[in-house]
Structure 1
Amino acid sequence: MKIFTIIVTVIAIALIIFNITQVDVNAPFEGQSVIALITILTSLCAIVLLQILRTSKLIEKKTKENK
């Protein structure tokens, strides 16, 4: 599971970097810039969710060790 979360996080970071280059600074809410901004936001959400999953698995593992 740890490898999966790392791989997906790296892919999400790559998507963020790519989409930052697609945003038009002069008109960020028009045309393709909107799609790039939405993709950046969804990639950030995916990273947050994966970190929550990773933390919950770590907590689950520690509680099983203490029993």
Structure 2
Amino acid sequence: MKIFKMLLSLIAIGLIIYNFTKVDFNAPFEDDSVVAFITIFASMCALILLQILRISQKIDKQYKTRK
């Protein structure tokens, strides 16, 4: 599971970097730039969800060790 989470994080970071190269800053809300912004936003959401998962698993592990 740990490797899977790291792999998903790397894919999300890779997508963010790739899509930043696709944004046309002269016309940011036209054609491919909009798709790039949507993909950047979705990748950031995925990173946030993965971070929440990591934190919740750490909390669960601490809770189980105290019992």
TM range (shorter): over 0.9
- Where in structure 1 do 4 or more consecutive aligned residues deviate above 4 Å? none
Please, what TM-score do these two structures have when normalized by structure 2?
0.97
Alpha-carbon deviation of 1:37? Answer: 0.3
Partner of residue 55, structure 1: 55
- Percent of aligned pairs sharing the same letter: 58
Alpha-carbon deviation of 1:50? Answer: 0.3
Distance 1:28 1:5 in 2: 31
Partner of residue 29, structure 2: 29
Alpha-carbon deviation of 1:4? Answer: 1.2
Q: Aligned AA for 1:23?
A: V
CA RMSD of aligned residues (A): 0.6
Distance 2:24 2:48 in 1: 26
Query: How many residues get paired?
Result: 67
Structure 1 residues without counterparts, runs of 5 or longer:
none
